[in-house]
C-alpha cells in the first residue's frame, strides 16, 4: 500500500486526465493494471488506482513513482509521459509539534513578546528543513560573525515572511547586526527590553505555498560594545532533517577546551570535544529537533 496526498487542482486534473485517457486507449481495466503491477512486485490497491484516475489523490513517494513508471510501460506510453504531470510533492514529512527548549519561563515570555512585536505568530508555519551555520572566531577567541543558510519549508498555508531570533539567556546585550545575504530582505527588527532576545523579520522573495521550499541566507555580526561571546549554536522549534554547525577558529587563538551542549525540551547533554590539531570543528544532526545545538569553548582550565 502507498500513502498519497491530495493534489492541487491543475496538477491532479492533468495527471488524472492523462491516466484515464491512456487506460481507455489501451482498452484495459484497473483490475488488469493492478494484477500486472502485482506480478512485478508493485502492490497497488484497486482503490489507489481509482483515486489516481479520478484525481482524488496523486502518487507520492518513490514506490508510487515506480508504479507509475511501470504503468507507462503497460499502457504503451512514452517514458515520463505520466510522471512529468505529477508535479512537486505536497508532503512536508513528519514535523511534530513545535516546541521551544527553554526552561526559564521568563525567557520564553520574552521570546513570545518579541514574536508579537515583529508581527509574527508565536509559532510560525515554517520549518528549517536543512541548515548550515558557519561561525567565524577572531584572534581574541570570540565570535566575529555567524552566517546561516537554510532550506525553509511552509508547513501550512502560504507564508511571505519568517522571523529569526538571537538569544543570550541571562546576558543583557545590544542588538547584533542582522543582514540578509540572499533570498529576501529584512522588514522589521526588534530587541526585547530584557536585552536577551533580539529578532528580525525576513521577507521572502516570493510567497511560499504549502510544502514548498526556498533557500535563504543571513548573517549575524556583533557591534563594538557587544559582550565577548565564546559560544555559537542554532535552535529549531520543529524536527529538522539536517543541521550542520561549522565553527572556524583563528589559528593564533585555538581554545584549550570545547564542549557541545544539546538541549531539548526534555534533556540537556554536555559532551567534551577536541580539535585534534585542526582549526575548525563541525557538528552534525540528522532528523533532530526541536532543540538547541550549541558549541562552547574557553582558555585555561575549565571552570
Query: For residue range 7-38, what is the model confidence (pLDDT) as tens digits?
Result: 333 444 488 889 989 999 999 988 899 888 88
Mean pLDDT on 63-87: 84
pLDDT at 105 over 70: no
pLDDT score, position 274? 93
Q: Is the CB of residue 157 less than 8 Å from the CB of residue 217? A: no
Q: Give 146's contacts (C-beta < 8 A, 6+ positions apart).
A: 133, 134, 135, 136, 219, 220, 232
- What digits encode the pLDDT tens for the residues 186-233? 999 999 999 999 999 999 999 988 888 999 999 999 887 788 889 999
CATH class of 105-298: mainly beta
Mean pLDDT on 78-92: 74
Please measure the distance between the N-terminal and C-terminal CA atoms of the chain and give it in whole angstroms.
57
In this structure, is the dihedral angle defined by the CA atoms of residues 237, 211, 152 and 198, taken in order, positive or negative? negative
pLDDT score, position 270? 94
pLDDT score, position 200? 94
Q: Give 207's contacts (C-beta < 8 A, 6+ positions apart).
A: 158, 159, 160
pLDDT at 146 over 90: yes
Domains 9-86 and 105-298 share a fold: no
> pTM for this structure?
0.66
Domain ranges of the chain: 9-86, 105-298
- What digits encode the pLDDT tens for the residues 264-292? 888 889 999 999 999 999 999 998 888 88
Q: Is the CB of residue 114 less than 8 Å from the CB of residue 104? A: no
Mean pLDDT on 238-261: 94
At the topology level, CATH places domain 9-86 in 434 Repressor (Amino-terminal Domain) (1.10.260)
pLDDT at 103 over 60: no
Integer Cα distance of 109 and 65 in angstroms = 46
SS3 label, residue 96 = coil
Residue 169 C-alpha cell reads as: 539567556
Residue closest to 34 by CA, chosen among 79, 86, 70, 3: 70
Kindly report each contact of residues 38-45 with a partner whose C-beta sits within 8 Å and lies 24 or more positions away, as own/partner: 40/70, 42/66, 42/67, 42/70, 43/1, 44/2, 45/1
Q: Is the CB of residue 298 less than 8 Å from the CB of residue 230? A: yes
Amino acid at each position: 500500500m502507498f500513502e498519497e496526498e491530495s493534489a492541487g487542482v491543475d496538477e491532479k486534473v492533468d495527471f488524472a486526465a492523462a491516466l484515464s485517457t491512456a487506460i481507455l486507449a489501451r482498452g484495459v481495466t484497473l483490475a488488469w493494471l493492478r494484477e500486472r503491477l502485482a506480478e512485478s512486485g508493485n502492490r497497488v490497491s484497486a482503490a489507489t488506482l481509482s483515486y489516481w484516475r479520478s484525481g482524488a489523490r496523486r502518487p507520492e513517494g518513490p514506490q508510487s513513482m515506480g508504479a507509475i513508471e511501470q504503468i507507462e510501460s503497460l499502457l504503451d506510453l512514452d517514458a515520463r509521459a505520466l510522471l512529468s504531470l505529477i508535479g512537486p510533492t505536497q508532503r512536508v514529512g513528519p514535523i511534530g509539534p513545535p516546541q521551544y527548549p527553554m526552561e526559564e519561563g521568563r525567557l520564553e515570555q520574552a521570546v513570545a513578546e518579541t514574536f508579537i512585536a515583529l508581527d509574527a505568530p508565536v509559532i510560525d508555519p515554517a520549518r528549517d528543513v536543512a541548515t548550515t551555520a558557519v561561525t567565524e572566531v577572531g584572534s581574541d577567541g570570540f565570535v566575529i560573525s555567524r552566517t546561516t543558510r537554510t532550506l525553509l519549508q511552509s508547513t501550512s498555508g502560504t507564508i511571505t515572511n519568517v522571523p529569526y531570533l538571537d538569544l543570550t539567556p541571562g546576558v543583557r546585550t545590544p542588538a547584533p547586526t542582522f543582514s540578509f545575504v540572499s533570498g529576501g530582505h529584512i522588514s522589521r527588527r526588534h530587541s526585547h527590553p530584557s536585552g536577551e532576545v533580539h529578532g528580525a523579520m525576513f521577507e521572502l522573495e516570493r510567497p511560499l505555498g504549502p510544502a514548498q521550499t526556498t533557500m535563504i541566507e543571513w548573517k549575524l555580526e556583533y557591534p563594538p560594545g557587544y559582550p565577548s561571546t565564546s559560544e555559537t549554536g542554532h535552535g529549531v522549534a520543529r524536527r529538522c532533517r539536517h543541521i550542520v554547525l561549522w565553527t572556524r577558529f583563528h589559528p593564533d587563538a585555538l581554545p584549550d577546551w570545547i564542549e557541545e551542549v544539546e538541549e531539548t525540551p526534555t534533556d540537556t547533554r554536555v559532551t567534551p570535544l577536541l580539535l585534534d590539531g585542526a582549526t575548525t570543528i563541525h557538528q552534525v544532526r540528522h532528523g533532530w529537533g526541536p532543540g538547541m545545538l550549541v558549541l562552547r569553548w574557553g582558555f585555561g582550565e575549565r571552570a
